[in-house]
Chain A
Amino acid sequence: MTGSSGLRTDARRTAWLLAPALAWMGLFFVLPLMVVFLISFATRSAYGGVEWAFTPANYRDLADPLYLRIYLRSCVMALATTGVCLVLGFPLAYHMARAPARWQGIWLVLVLIPFWTNFLVRTYAWMNLLRADGLLNTALIGAGVMRAPVEILYSDLAVLIGLVYGYLPFMVLPLYAAIERLDRSLLEAARDLYAPGWAVFTRVIVPLTKPGIIAGCLLVFIPSLGAYITPDLLGGARSMMIGNFIQHEYLVVRDWPLGSAASFVLMAIVVAGLWGYQRAGGVRA
């Protein structure tokens, strides 16, 4: 009897502790999401309002090649960002995790320093760096590497640079956590068992840090897929990504139903990506 009443008290306490967060999420996340979901099946009225009519027309409209190209571009851009972050981030995270304890703290602060200022401000800084008369071009010309400035700003490359810059810490931190936990004697055991360096990496380090790799990839892929500020400021007219498209539909064209539908397609892509990763994570290497 005491056992079951104890269980009930526990359950009640848990419910009380969860209630604030659940209420917050329900009120400010789930409810608005439902509203957006409903709007995605409505139609745009003549003056940019929402006319309630249950129709899948918005989703059908999104199948237009013009929009599909934006989705495709976003996916490619997000994948490229994830890939570059992984390639740049792994050696950095590995170095950090293997550094003496005092240095690990310093490295962590260095990785996190960019978060001390606003992302928008930092993106403006990149505009200054990448401009034709910006720091990068001036330095390269000054060093005699090239004669004429190259316009990097307002291109896909600029967007990629900006996204990698913005999301690299999200790759480095989970990787660092995973590598830091890695038992050093396992690497020695692999060496002792005749593994050359690359085999130690592929056969021991990668499988054992896979949770960190997957976490890092998700943390980079998801926000870069929906990125808005970076492509808006650094990208050209052709560099539109899903985030810009949604913003465009909502605020410029004032077609809320189409923007809502685009948002849900974005969500669907993310959920599909998560599901795929989870499946991949469950399969033993």
Chain B
Amino acid sequence: MQANPSVELREVVKRHGSTPAVESLSLSVRHGEFFSILGPSGSGKTTTLRLIAGFEHPDQGDILIDGRSVLDVPPNLRPVNLVFQQYALFPHLTVFGNVAFGLEMRGVARAEIRSRVDAALGMVQLSGKEARVPAQLSGGEQQRVALARALVNRPAVVLLDEPLGALDQQLRQEMQGELKAIQERVGLTFICVTHHQEEALTMSDRVAVMDRGRVLQVGAPKEIYGAPASLFVAEFVGLSNRVDGRIIAVDGTRCRIEAPGLPAIQADAPAGAGPGNPVALVVRPERLHLSQPSASNGFDNVVPARVAKTVYNGHEMQYQLHVAERLSWTVRVQNDNGGQKPFLPGDAVAVRWNCDDGVVLAR
């Protein structure tokens, strides 16, 4: 493992006209890492990818690949390969021709091209389809060709622009596992742009969440999901139940939050919290427990609620709750035959959770 990061962005600024697409962006991607950039459309994530590929030039800042600035290096001389969102396969070339294109351009010997293309197609399970043209392939197969076309060059970095975006749900889930497995096998740095949070969480070693041209949080999927650093991250990544309130007391690591219509809430105090701070408490649906209103057990918080809607998902029951007449919360209960009778719409219930189940964030 080299000392330099695989890809480093330093204070990169890119404007499209007068609107900034990327604002003072700094990122450091490690060698052999599966790094995802997660964000809604317009967050600047695709621009970031195109800056690394060389199709866009930053207005300010520096981009380094393996420790060397690539600002003056045109796209065709950068040691990166991009898997395009719509694949951008050459329609006039066969699968073999598509995958061999990069090697041919770099003047690799014919015999070596043959063996490397064969190996790359084998890796994406497309052996035997060399002679097809893209129009004869399914969407999933085209996606694999696009991946092989990048991998065969053994670039320093593989860039993926919404790699699974054009696939249907089932194929998408299959490919998530496969993409990660391939990345581990080849050991190359992958930078993947996606707006699909599940994709980012399942495949990545680390995730950067972007919004409006800025990076809000970088961390392992567990940190991003379990300890979001801001309300935007908490709400963009995964489902969350939110209640806005005000800190009324801080007691060591705990704090009490007052929210209109609810009993005072106990929570882990965020760093630097003080009485009077406007905050939002965020709790994931699977961290909440449902019970009869009368039942009592040792949770830090108990809040009354009413069941508005139930959704049966097979493995779990999803409850839509009305809390304090104005909040809509979601609770997920595993269907593990645990003996609990399911609640029905209209039932009064108690929602319970402990301090460490929620995160208190500034708002």
Contacts and interface: CB of A to CB of B under 8 A. Distances in A.
Interface of A: 183, 185-186, 188-196, 199, 203-204, 207-208, 284-285
A191 B56 CA distance: 13
B103 to A, nearest CB: 9
Nearest to A195: B105
A193 B84 contact: no
B90 A185 contact: no
Nearest to B80: A192
Contact of B76 (A186, A196, A284, A285): A196
Given A193-B153, A194-B105, A195-B105, A188 B90 contact: no
A192 B105 contact: no
Given A188-B75, A188-B84, A199-B105, A193 B92 contact: no
B137 interface: no
Given A185-B84, A199-B105, A192 B75 contact: yes
B260 interface: no
10 nearest A-B pairs in the assembled complex, by CB-CB distance: A193-B102, A189-B88, A194-B105, A185-B88, A191-B75, A207-B92, A192-B82, A191-B76, A195-B105, A193-B101
A204 B90 contact: yes
A192 B53 contact: yes
A190 to B, nearest CB: 7
B76 A188 contact: no
Interface of B: 53-55, 74-77, 80-82, 84, 86, 88-92, 101-102, 105-106, 149, 153
B92 A188 contact: no
Given A185-B86, A199-B105, A192 B92 contact: no
Given A194-B77, A194-B153, A195-B101, 7 more contacts: A188-B75, A188-B84, A189-B89, A190-B101, A192-B82, A194-B76, A196-B105
Given A191-B76, A193-B101, A194-B106, A208 B88 contact: no
Nearest to A189: B88
A207 B101 CA distance: 14
A203 B90 CA distance: 10
A183 B85 CA distance: 13
Contacts of A185: 84, 86, 88
A192 to B, nearest CB: 5
B318 to A, nearest CB: 39
Contacts of B84: 185, 188-189
B165 to A, nearest CB: 14
A193 B149 contact: yes
A27 to B, nearest CB: 43
A193 B81 contact: yes
Contacts of A207: 92
A163 to B, nearest CB: 32
24 contacts: A185-B84, A185-B86, A186-B88, A188-B55, A188-B75, A188-B82, A189-B88, A189-B90, A190-B90, A191-B54, A191-B55, A191-B75, A192-B55, A192-B76, A193-B81, A193-B102, A193-B105, A195-B76, A195-B105, A196-B76, A203-B101, A208-B91, A284-B92, A285-B92
Nearest to A186: B88
Contacts of B75: 188, 191-192
A195 B54 CA distance: 13
B104 to A, nearest CB: 9
B106 A188 contact: no
B90 A186 contact: yes
B195 to A, nearest CB: 18
A194 B88 contact: no
B59 to A, nearest CB: 20
User: Of residues A192, A196, A207, which shows the largest number of chain B Cβ atoms within 10 Å of its Cβ?
Assistant: A192
B102 A194 contact: yes
Contacts of A192: 53, 55, 75-76, 80-82
Contacts of B153: 193-194
B91 A188 contact: no
A194 B86 CA distance: 19
B48 to A, nearest CB: 16
Nearest to A194: B105
A196 B82 CA distance: 16
A253 B44 CA distance: 76
A183 B77 contact: no
A209 to B, nearest CB: 10
Contacts of A199: 105
A285 B92 CA distance: 9
A145 to B, nearest CB: 39
A191 B102 CA distance: 9
Nearest to B94: A284
Nearest to B107: A194
Nearest to A204: B90
B97 to A, nearest CB: 10
A203 B55 CA distance: 19
Given A193-B101, A194-B106, A199-B105, A208 B55 contact: no
Contacts of A193: 76, 81, 101-102, 105, 149, 153
Nearest to B133: A284
B92 A208 contact: yes
A190 B80 CA distance: 13
Contacts of A189: 82, 84, 88-90
Nearest to A206: B92
A183 B91 CA distance: 10
Contacts of B53: 192
B88 A188 contact: yes
A195 B89 CA distance: 15
A192 B82 CA distance: 7
Contacts of B102: 193-194
A249 B91 CA distance: 51
